[in-house]
Amino acid sequence: MEYSPIGNAMSLVKVNTFIRSVYNWMFVGLALTAFTAFYVASSETLLQVIFGNKIIFYGMIFGELGMVFYLSARVHKMSAFSATALFVTYSILNGATLSSIFMIYNISSIASTFLVCALTFAACSVYGMVTKKDLTSLGGFMMMGLIGIIIASLLNVFIKSTAMNMIISYVGVLVFVGLTAYDTQKLKEMAITQPVDASGAMVRKGAIMGALTLYLDFINLFLMLLHIFGGSRD
């Protein structure tokens, strides 16, 4: 096959543009979540409404799960505007439920853990982007680990074991570190296979899905680290 520097350059621009869009949307989601969490935590009324009523709290949790599954399953059939609106709404709703961390951990430990998480995430993401090694097998192994974490967490709701909770957190850090590298590598494949679309709708929807995936990796990694290093307010 004849080497085409122009074709390679165009492919590189396409990949970089797509990946930049993914990270921009991920940062938007994280910013909305952080702002909402802090705002809700600063309002006694909102805290009482959300956490004082189990129906509302669990309704929000199941609503978030529903949004993730719906967006993942229907993103190709919905408009770019709908996909974006759903992602933004999810980020805000998740911020409201995550405001509980301000009632459990002190501000300094939340800030320091966030910094550690950001640096760890960045390192894993860079590795996933530059490595020549195929991380598909790693991704499959990490997904099995994620399923194990979910099952163990559900069991621990009834067992209420502090030791198991810590084990889940340590394993969770390893799992989401691996998933971050794997999901970042997948972004390059997504960028290359994005269909040509003059309106940019398909690219936008692909970027939203990529942003949601990395957003979930970041949030879960942060929560796992917070369980390990977070200092109690008491």
Residue type at position 147: I
pLDDT interval class at 230 (50, 70, 90): confident
pLDDT beyond 80 at 187: yes
CA angle 73, 74, 79 (to 5 degrees): 155
Tokens at 111, concatenated? 């800030």
Number of Cβ atoms within 10 Å of the Cβ of 64: 17
Overall number of domains in the chain: 1
What is the structure's pLDDT at 161? Answer: 87
Range of the domain at 222: 5-229
**Integer Cα distance of 52 and 188 in angstroms:** 44
- Is 193 inside a domain boundary? yes
- Is 234 inside a domain boundary? no
- Is 44 inside a domain boundary? yes
Helix (H, G, I), strand (E, B) or coil at 200: coil
CA distances from 71 to 79, 140, 174, 205, 207 (A): 11, 22, 26, 10, 12
- Is 113 inside a domain boundary? yes
What is the structure's pLDDT at 11? Answer: 61
For residue 52, count CB atoms less than 10 angstroms from its CB and return exposed for 0-12, middle for 13-18, buried for 19 or more.
exposed
**Integer Cα distance of 182 and 176 in angstroms:** 10
pTM of the prediction?
Answer: 0.89
pLDDT interval class at 3 (50, 70, 90): very low
